[in-house]
Structure 1
Amino acid sequence: MSPRHVLLAVLVAAIWGFNFVVLKVGLDEFPPILFSALRFLAAAVPAIFFVGRPSVAWRWIIAVGLVLGVAKFSFLFVGLKVGMPAGLGSLVLQSQVIFTTAFAAVVLHERPRPVQVTGIALAIGGIGLIAWDYGISSPLLGFALVVIAAACWGVSNVLMRYARPTDTLRFMVWVSAVAVLPLFGLSALTEDMSALGRLDWSGAASVGYVAWISTLLGFGIWGFLLRQYESSVVAPYSLLVPVFGIFSAWAFLGEDLSAVQLAAGGLVLAGLAIPQLLGRRAARTEVLPEPLVPAGR
């Protein structure tokens, strides 16, 4: 990756890492699925009336909206609500790297190079060390739900690779719109929606951050990078998310940060740096799988 694109990937990781602190604030104000519905409503409206429809087949917009918007974030938000700590949640979610690389290898026939495998293995070792130091202190249900959310993220990464939206911001606005009604429906069936009548500044700010900064800006940049490089090149940068997430949780939520976690964060950084330090330049993909229907329909 070019230095500019590396910086963009790190910026997204920082945005998504701090996002876990914001999520904890929002989940104190709203039930989890309702909070997710509000974040996607804010991301979609009023932007959808100004950006126009993306030149991507409807099937990809709907598929990403359901897998990323509805499934991934429902599992993640409920997992955090039932007790998964913010720092540990940001860590466990990065198992999406394994899912993304595996799904891309099977579906897209992308084969990670040996140096990438080495870097990912080292970074995953750092994540494993952080997980060991944390210990399994949160409920098993919360842990399992976040792992399922990571698998959904891996599927959505591959779907976005197929879709190849030329304007990722426009694409994410429409993906957000797809998620709104299913999420509000799920919330109406399973949650108490009376929190809508008690909206305060902290609740509004948390919705604004996860809608405009985390969703539109973060996924807009992420989708752009996935268009430029293979999934196995981009996905490892999400391993920085738990580094930022753990530091943010320590700084703003008072979650403990040990010397072991600091050392493990260094392993994650080393794993990401290996392909760059060895001088391998990620090749842009020239041949991509054909969409199942013509783009734009």
Structure 2
Amino acid sequence: MNILWGMNIIAMKVTVGALAPFTAGAARLAIVGLICAPWMRPPPGRVRALALFGLITGGLFLLFLNLALKVATNVGALAIVGQMAVPIALVLGAVILKERMNRAQLAGVAVAIVGIVVLMFDPRIFGELPGLLLMLLAATAWGTSSLVQRQLAGVPVMTLYFWTGLMGTALLLPMSLVLEPGVLAKLPGLPFAPLAWLAFSVLGATLAGQGGMAWLLGRHPLSAVMPLTLAAPVVSVAASHWMFGTPVTASMVIGGLMTLAGVVIVTMARRRALKEMGA
């Protein structure tokens, strides 16, 4: 799973470069929606939540992520910033749902934020600031979708993916046609490599990787599952350095480790809080 997720951002960087941000996102989501079409029927009373989840997870998340990949070159740095989705989800839960945060959770969020600041103010990374900020918006979209997903307990994973594909395509396809005219027509004539990476993104990262995560989360608490995914940004950083020659600096390593440490603290503190509530 770490390899699938870690390599996914590489796959998306290649497809965005071969096509364009909105077109690459629309193509990926349309394929996901078509594959998952047999599971399109929503459970009663869940249509609005499914539509909102799909719009955020598919549309807004990929919109910001693909724009970040378009304007930034250091894919590894983007992968590290993407880990902020977990602390952001916690903060949004406190602000929107009025959930209480304990001291350990606050400390974890603070450590993660400091890690991102250390990363951003690296002179070799600072030039990537627009892309990093777009990645923060993508992480915010992902964190927001996790709150919506709480209303979808028991909904089959493939149904979630169908609505993600449907609503994401509904947002990104018109943007592709209007803002990237003629790019969609290039899709059938793409070289093998971008098409292969697109297939990997759909089948490997989305259906297998995220599907596996959903399966694990359905059987184990978040705090037990999330640490298993922390190697994904390490894979991304190593693969980005190997494939694109992007630098790996001391500040990047320190900031990345601090961010990951913050995510671990937040996750473990949440597990402890849930145990205390159930006691």
TM range (shorter): 0.7 to 0.9
Equivalent residue, structure 2, for 1:81: 70
4+ runs deviating over 6 angstroms: 228-239, 275-278, 284-287
What does residue 291 of structure 1 align with?
none
Q: Distance in 2 between matches of 1:146 and 1:265?
A: 15
Paired amino acid for 1:252: M
Q: 2:146 is matched by which residue type in structure 1? A: N
> What is aligned with 2:241?
250
**8 Å CA contact retained: 2:83, 2:260:** no
* Matching residue's letter, 1:210: S
| Aligned residue identity for 1:146 | M
Question: Which residue of structure 2 aligns with residue 3 of structure 1?
Answer: none
Are residues 286 and 203 of structure 1, via their aligned partners in 2, closer, same or farther at CA, if it must alter by over 3 Å? farther
Aligned to 1:283, the other structure's residue is in SS state helix
Change beyond 3 A, Cα 1:219–1:97: same
Q: Is 1:135 aligned to 2:125, yes or no? A: yes
- Structure 1 residue matching 2:79: 3-state secondary structure: helix
Partner amino acid for 2:143?
G
CA deviation digits over 1:80-131, x for unaligned, max 9? 1123531222233333334311211233343343333334433443343333
Deviation at 1:179, TM superposition (A): 1.9
Corresponding position: 1:99 with 2:91: no
1:63 and 2:52 correspond? yes
Give RMSD over aligned pairs.
3.5
- For normalisation by structure 1, the TM-score amounts to 0.76
> Which region of structure 1 is more displaced relative to structure 2, 227-236 or 238-247?
227-236
Q: How does 1:170-185 map to 2 (within 5 A)?
A: 170-185=159-174
For the residue of structure 1 that corresponds to 2:99, the secondary structure is coil
How far, CA to CA, are the matches of 2:170 and 2:265 in structure 1? 43
Amino acid at match of 2:126: I
Which residue does the alignment assign to 1:4?
A: none
Alpha carbons of structure 1 residues 225 and 155: separation in structure 2 relative to 1, 3 Å: farther
Aligned-residue sequence identity (percent) comes to 27
Aligned to 2:105: 116
CA spacing shift, 1:82–1:27, aligned 2, 3 Å: same
How far apart are the structure 2 equivalents of 1:55 and 1:286? 30
Q: 1:245 to 1:88 in 2, by over 3 A?
A: same
Equivalent residue runs for 1:1-297 within 5 Å: 11=1, 14-49=3-38, 51=39, 53-55=41-43, 57-133=46-122, 134-138=124-128, 140-191=129-180, 192-193=182-183, 194-224=185-215, 241-273=232-264, 281=272, 283=274
**What is the rounded CA distance, in whole Å, between the counterparts of 1:285 and 1:203 in structure 2?**
49
- Deviation string 1:197-220 (CA, Å, 9 cap, x unpaired) is 422211211211221222223333
Equivalent residues, number:
274
- Under a length normalisation based on structure 2, what TM-score does the superposition of the two structures give? 0.80
Q: CA deviation at 1:63?
A: 0.6
1:38-59 per-residue CA deviation (whole Å, 9 max, x = no partner) reads 111221223322x453536111
Judge which range, 175-184 or 125-134, deviates more: 125-134
Instruction: Give distance in 2, aligned partners of 1:189 and 1:285.
Output: 52
Any gaps of 5 or more consecutive residues in structure 1? 1-10, 288-297
User: Could you list the runs of 5+ residues in structure 2 that have no partner in the other structure?
Assistant: none
**Deviation readout 1:224-270 (Å, 9 max, x if unpaired):** 56667887997788765543322221122211113443344444454
